Amino acid sequence: MSNQVALTGNEAIANAMRQINPDVVAAYPITPQTEIVQIFSQFVADGEVDTDFVTVESEHSAMSASVGASASGARAMTATAANGLALMWEILYIAASTRLPIVMPVVNRALSGPINIHCDHSDSMGARDSGWIQLYAENAQEAYDNTIQAFKIGEHEDVKLPVMVNMDGFIISHAVENFNILADEDVQEFIGEYNPEHTLLDAENPITVGPIDLQDYYFEHKRQQSEAVKHAKKVVAEVAEEYNELTGRGFSYFEEYKLDDAEVGIVALGSTTGTAKAAVDNLRDEGIKAGLLKLRLYRPFPAEEITEALSNLKVLAVLDRAETFSDTGGPVFADIRSALYNADSEIEAVNYIYGLGGRDTQVDEIEAVYKDLQDILESGEVEERVQYLGVRE
């Protein structure tokens, strides 16, 4: 059973946390994430949850406390954004390599400098290879749904990895939307109890967490971690199917929008995909066979499934809200192009860096991208492989 409510994205995630009722939340404020832990702290103060709420002195400490709590057998959460995520950097790798299923909402914001508090994906994209599972949301509904599913994914016996739940700062975090919220008991039944096999506090079965690990076994442990990431892809799909049976919502790796007969298409993630859908609808009215693939799961990267979904396209644009400073395009473009190469695909792919520092992206700009793709389709020539959408050159 669910009810429709009107809340901001931050409120949606805070309410998901309330329904999950984690054992420990370690928190430090940073714009535009602060409201999540602020709202949740009120739930703690009002006795609506049983959570131990730990106010720490930095984001580095927040992740460190989450690692300690999770290693002790607790269901642990934190939340952050931008420079806060960067301050956690060292501990992100420790959490993943120690195989701790911490769940962390990340409200995407430009990573300074220059100082900027608005949305792009430079924070989470910088952490894409830290070993965390990464989910991205188009709107508050998906942010809420992803938060609930994240526990079932990360805690699965074949996975045991932390999960990052990403949503665009201000665009989703502070905008009020209608969405469906589940009954508290349905959330509890869906996620179940957390009963880890090994914990620091099990005196009958003592273990060591985070020991020195040199040439003798380090490589093997990293190989095991890589296998867990492979398992995670299957688990994401299984959990999504179960959640869909409960709610009638959701998809596993990505959403296909009018891709079946599309000749030109875009791959994107986050809130911009809503804008892209409007552009697709407009172009379809003009007779242009446009389509969209909206990524939900970015780590692990579902390469085979993506190339299959894009197989009907002739020309493709990948939208990146982050820069790699490699002079070869953005991070999502690199992964998509690699996947197409491995599949021996003949799809011509180009990249558009857009929206850095919160720069707004309009429907007509996305339409212009599709029309650029039409030009490539007709001419067979790519003049610029990587372009910057909406920047003053």
Same domain assignment for residues 322 and 345: yes
pLDDT at position 1, please? 67
Overall average pLDDT of the 148-173 stretch: 98
Tens digits of residue pLDDT in 159-168: 999 999 999 9
pLDDT, averaged across the chain: 97
Measure the CA dihedral 245/258/307/344, to 10°: 160
The DSSP bridge pattern shows strands 76-77 and 290-295 to be unpaired
Same domain assignment for residues 101 and 181: yes
Tens digits of residue pLDDT in 270-326: 999 999 999 999 999 999 999 999 999 999 999 999 999 999 999 999 999 999 999
The DSSP bridge pattern shows strands 290-295 and 176-182 to be unpaired
For residue 180, give its domain range. 2-247
Query: How far apart are alpha carbons 144 and 2 in whole angstroms?
Result: 13
Distance between first and last Cα of the chain: 52
Same domain assignment for residues 238 and 294: no
Same domain assignment for residues 237 and 280: no
Same domain assignment for residues 17 and 87: yes
Number of domains the chain contains? 2
Cβ contact 106:166 at 8 Å = yes
Which run of H or E residues covers position 388? strand 386-389
Same domain assignment for residues 144 and 222: yes
User: Which of 247, 267, 294 is the C-terminal boundary of a domain?
Assistant: 247
pLDDT at position 393, please? 85
Tens digits of residue pLDDT in 326-348: 999 999 999 999 999 999 999 99
Half-sphere exposure in the Cβ direction for 369 (13 Å, CA): 36
pLDDT at position 332, please? 98
Same domain assignment for residues 46 and 93: yes
Query: How far apart are alpha carbons 91 and 66 in whole angstroms?
Result: 10
Overall average pLDDT of the 63-68 stretch: 98
CATH number, domain with residue 270: 3.40.50.920
